Chain A
Amino acid sequence: MAANVFLRRSWLAENGALAALVVLIVALSLLSSDFLSVTNLLNVGVQAAVTAILAFGGTFVIVTGGIDLSVGSVAALSAIVLAWTAAVAGLPWPLATVLSLVVGVACGLVSAALIAYGKLPPFIATLAMLGIARGLALVISQGSPIPMPDAVSHLGDTIGGYLPVPVIVMLVMGALAAVILNRTYVGRAMYAIGGNEEAARLSGIKVSRQKLITYALSGGFAAVAGIVLASRLASAQPQAAAGYELDAIAAVVIGGASLSGGKGRALGTFVGALILAVLRNGLNLLSVSAFWQQVVIGVVIALAVLVDTLRRRGMS
């Protein structure tokens, strides 16, 4: 029974964001004749991919009641490490790719160690990591873009002219996030810690260790996002993904997660990332002026979350 109620409540919570997405899609279809085509919707998928992958990683962190501000920088650092080790140091690309994922995970572990053992607030620990990772990306690359190895750049391709690989990667990472959150001990521990950290500790969850895993996952997801981003351009850029952490957090929150922890689902985050991508795409199609675009994006983020909170308040 309890599980059933839980399921129904989260479905409703998700439908809030989903409703916002549907409204947005209907509105844009009416306003622009170019919006509702298969090609354009696939474009939206590609443009959502990087934010969505970052946001899936961010969902883990936000579910535990933490926050990860470093994901944009970690994404850039991971991509730079891959490109540099392959193009400059001459490592074979599979090894370079593994190394780049390791770097992403390591960044997450360092943040988590500062949080779990150094007792730093997650905001500060990951803010420090934001600077460190971006700085290291600049140090390694000397501030200039580095070409990605061709084999890895296929991640940015479109199979058969229709199926963009970034969309596939996004769906795979989303499914992975959903499985981790819903079907594993690690996922349940995240919800427990976010719900009440002290209660989680008393019920025998090793909170520090679970936090290490959570931020390591976030770092790993950020590395994947960075690799996808660099593959799309066939070039790793030290300044890539700057500010994406805020988009990722917005996607998670639009998707129904609570910044105070304990709530959040991969599917909701996916919808949140789609809302942001649909919005940016639509503003381009409608030729909205540069100055107004930022206003519109801000208003839609506020409305999407507001709709969701109101629905949930109505429910309880």
Chain B
Amino acid sequence: MRIPALVIAGAALALGLTACGSAGPSGSNNASGSPGGNIKIGMTVSTLNNPYFVQLRDGAQAEAQKAGATLTVTDAQNDASQQVNQVQNFASQAMKAIILNPVDSDAAAPAAKAAERANIPVIAADRGVNGAEVAQTVASDNVTGGKLAAQELAELLGHKGQVVVLQGVAGTSAARDRGQGFTDGIKAFPNIKVVAQQPADFDRTKGLDVMTNLLQSNPGINGVFAENDEMALGAIKALGAKAGKEVKVVGFDGTPDGLKAVKAGTMNASVAQQPTLLGQQAVAAAVKAAKGEKIEKTVAVPVKVATTENVDEFKIY
């Protein structure tokens, strides 16, 4: 009996807060004259335990400051259920818009629906939401990125050779899409053989260990595709002096460390996403949605292949 009572009390409290929130502060907000003045935006990031998402957050914060909006950022620590709680909390804090960077596209639907119930527009950032409506999805195209990586690696190898793939965390959408794009893209080059595909969980240390092991079983490889830069940087450590020269390395994300390696020539290319731009666009869309303006259903933030030639065009933060 005690637990249900507590749950009901909690739910009542949450409901009360939501009601107060949506009624109270919104009135005063409209009264203030500044352009984006006092627009409260909540942002839940899948994890801040990864430089890529830290950049996403930084871009969002910069844009929020420019627009004069108040941005609250929470870290879901790669836990989809925690993310649902965070969105619910945003709803009770009377946020005008919510930026949702899903831990998992499929598991994000309950979070998006929680916001929908409270009539708060949701902007999905970096990953889409499956099974629920959102106001806008801002994402870079991982499948296209994987294809671009395959083409780039093929060019670097002169259309022939043996390559290995370092895979991300098994079952995540980023690993799936990038791997799919790469597999599709590399099919166009019959003289390139994928000799091994092994998981290194998007982790630099694991990239180092797995690459070391793969070099034992496949000493003849001359190309590596890593589904993120962290694993590529680990692979480069394993390859030592061969990295970028006898063995071509293509990474993904265009993180600051990744771009530094491209500049140094140890990584031949990185399919650069633009997390900072992505964060900016998400906040820009959130501000518009909060004001009730119409926004596009999807915005594709372009991926660009960073190579030794053009790496200086990329902003290294």
Contacts and interface: CB of A to CB of B under 8 A. Distances in A.
B50 interface: yes
A234 B234 CA distance: 10
Chain B facing A: main interface SS: helix
Interface string A282-303: 0011110011011000000000
B209 A138 contact: no
A233 B210 CA distance: 14
Contacts of A241: 205
B204 A284 contact: no
A70 interface: no
Nearest to A237: B204
Interface string B85-128: 00000000000000000000000000000000000000000000
Given A138-B49, A287-B198, A291-B170, A39 B216 contact: yes
Contacts of B217: 32, 34, 284-287
B50 A239 contact: yes
Nearest to B202: A239
A284 to B, nearest CB: 4
Contact of A43 (B53, B196, B213): B213
B167 A40 contact: no
How many chain B residues sit at the interface, stated as a range, is: 20 to 34
B208 interface: yes
Nearest to A131: B77
Interface residues of A, number: 37
Interface in B134-177: 167, 170-171
A182 interface: no
A138 B209 CA distance: 24
A313 B306 CA distance: 61
Given A145-B257, A238-B49, A290-B167, A233 B216 contact: no
B199 interface: yes
A47 B207 CA distance: 12
B54 interface: yes
B139 to A, nearest CB: 21
B215 to A, nearest CB: 9
B209 A47 contact: yes
A229 B217 CA distance: 24
Contact of B237 (A143, A145, A233): A233
B210 A284 contact: yes
Residue of A235, A237, A284 contacting most chain B CB atoms (<10 Å): A284
A229 B199 contact: no
A284 B167 CA distance: 12
A237 B257 CA distance: 12
20 contacts: A37-B216, A46-B212, A47-B209, A138-B48, A142-B54, A143-B48, A143-B50, A143-B53, A144-B51, A145-B51, A233-B237, A235-B204, A235-B257, A242-B49, A281-B209, A284-B209, A284-B210, A285-B216, A290-B167, A291-B170
Interface of B: 48-51, 53-54, 167, 170-171, 196-199, 203-205, 208-210, 212-214, 216-217, 233-234, 237, 256-257
